[in-house]
C-alpha cells in the first residue's frame, strides 16, 4: 500500500498531469454539440463515437509523462539498484493514473451520456464501459510510452494506437447491444477478459523495455 500512497502523492502534486486530460475530455464533450444541430436525435447519432474517441485521446495525454520524468532524474536507476519490482511499480502507477484520471472521466461520461440521451439505463451502462476502456487504453499507451521513452510520447502513441482500434469496435458494438437490449453483459465480460490479459502482460513488457532503455 505504501507504493500506492507514494505514487498518489507524486501524481497529486503534478496538477497538469491529471487535470489536463480530464479538461481535454471535458472540452471535447462540450464542443461536440456545437458542431451539430441541437436536436436530441442528431446529437445522439455521433455522441458515443465522440465519447470513446475523447476517452482514447485523454488517456493518450495522461500517459505523456508517465516515465520520462523518472528516466531523466535518475529515479528509475535507483529503483533498479534497489531490486524493487519494476513490474509491480508499473502496475501500481497505472492503477493510480486510472483512479485519478480514468475514474473521473468515466463519471463525466455518465453525466454527458445522461445529458445527451436522457436515458438513465443507457448512461448507467456506459459507466462500466468507460471504466474498463479507460483502463485498457491507459495500459496500451503506457506500453507505447515505454517503447519511445527517450524519443517523445507521440511516436509511442502512434505505435500502440492500432491496438486500441479493436477495443473501439467492441465499444461501438456494446452501445448498440445496450440500445437493443441484447448481450450487453457478454460485451462487458469480453472487455474484462481483454483487460485481465492486458493488465498482466503490459507491466511485464514495460518493465523489460524500461530496463533496456536504462542500459
Partner 1 sequence: MNTSLIINAENIAYKVNDFKLFHNLSFTVEKGEALHVQGANGSGKSTLLRIILGITNQTKGKIEINSEKGISYLGHKNALKNYLSLEDNILLMELDDHLDLLKYIDLLGLKKLLEVNVANLSYGQQKKLALLRLFLNESDLIVLDEPFVGLDDNTQEILSNFLKDQLNKNKGIIYTSHISCSLESKILLLK
Interface residues toward partner 1, by CB under 8 A: 2, 6, 9-10, 13-14, 69, 72-75, 77-78, 80-83, 214-215
Task: Categorise residue 42: left if φ over 0, alpha if ψ from -120 to 50, beta otherwise.
Answer: alpha
Cβ proximity to partner 1, 81 vs 180, nearer residue: 81
Q: Provide the strand spans (E) within the chain.
A: none
Cβ proximity to partner 1, 17 vs 113, nearer residue: 17
Supply the minimum distance, in Å, between the C-beta of residue 122 and partner 1. 41
Are 194 and 129 in contact by the 8 Å Cβ rule? The answer is no
- Eight-state DSSP code of residue 102: I
Supply the minimum distance, in Å, between the C-beta of residue 17 and partner 1. 10
The Cα 87–Cα 178 span in angstroms is 36
SS3 125: helix
Residues 6+ apart with CB under 8 A from 186: 177
Supply the minimum distance, in Å, between the C-beta of residue 90 and partner 1. 17
Cβ proximity to partner 1, 73 vs 118, nearer residue: 73
The Cα 99–Cα 123 span in angstroms is 20
Supply the minimum distance, in Å, between the C-beta of residue 156 and partner 1. 22
Supply the minimum distance, in Å, between the C-beta of residue 211 and partner 1. 8
The Cα 24–Cα 61 span in angstroms is 9
Cβ proximity to partner 1, 173 vs 211, nearer residue: 211
Cβ proximity to partner 1, 17 vs 134, nearer residue: 17
- Eight-state DSSP code of residue 57: H
Amino acid at each position: 500500500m505504501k507504493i500506492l500512497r507514494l505514487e498518489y502523492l507524486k501524481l497529486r502534486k503534478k496538477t497538469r498531469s491529471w487535470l489536463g486530460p480530464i479538461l481535454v475530455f471535458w472540452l471535447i464533450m462540450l464542443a461536440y454539440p456545437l458542431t451539430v444541430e441541437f436536436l436530441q436525435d442528431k446529437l445522439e447519432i455521433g455522441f458515443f463515437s465522440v465519447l470513446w474517441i475523447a476517452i482514447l485521446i485523454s488517456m493518450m495525454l495522461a500517459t505523456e509523462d508517465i516515465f520520462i520524468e523518472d528516466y531523466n532524474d535518475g529515479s528509475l536507476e535507483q529503483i533498479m539498484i534497489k531490486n524493487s519490482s519494476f513490474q509491480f511499480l508499473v502496475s501500481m502507477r497505472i492503477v493510480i493514473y486510472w483512479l485519478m484520471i480514468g475514474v473521473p472521466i468515466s463519471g463525466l461520461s455518465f453525466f454527458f451520456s445522461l445529458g445527451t440521451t436522457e436515458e438513465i439505463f443507457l448512461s448507467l451502462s456506459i459507466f462500466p464501459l468507460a471504466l474498463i476502456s479507460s483502463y485498457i487504453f491507459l495500459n496500451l499507451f503506457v506500453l507505447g510510452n515505454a517503447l519511445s521513452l527517450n524519443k517523445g510520447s507521440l511516436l509511442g502513441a502512434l505505435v500502440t494506437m492500432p491496438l486500441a482500434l479493436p477495443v473501439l469496435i467492441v465499444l461501438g458494438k456494446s452501445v448498440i447491444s445496450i440500445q437493443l437490449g441484447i448481450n450487453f453483459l457478454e460485451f462487458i465480460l469480453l472487455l474484462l477478459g481483454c483487460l485481465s490479459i492486458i493488465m498482466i502482460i503490459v507491466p511485464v513488457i514495460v518493465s523489460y523495455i524500461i530496463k533496456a532503455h536504462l542500459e
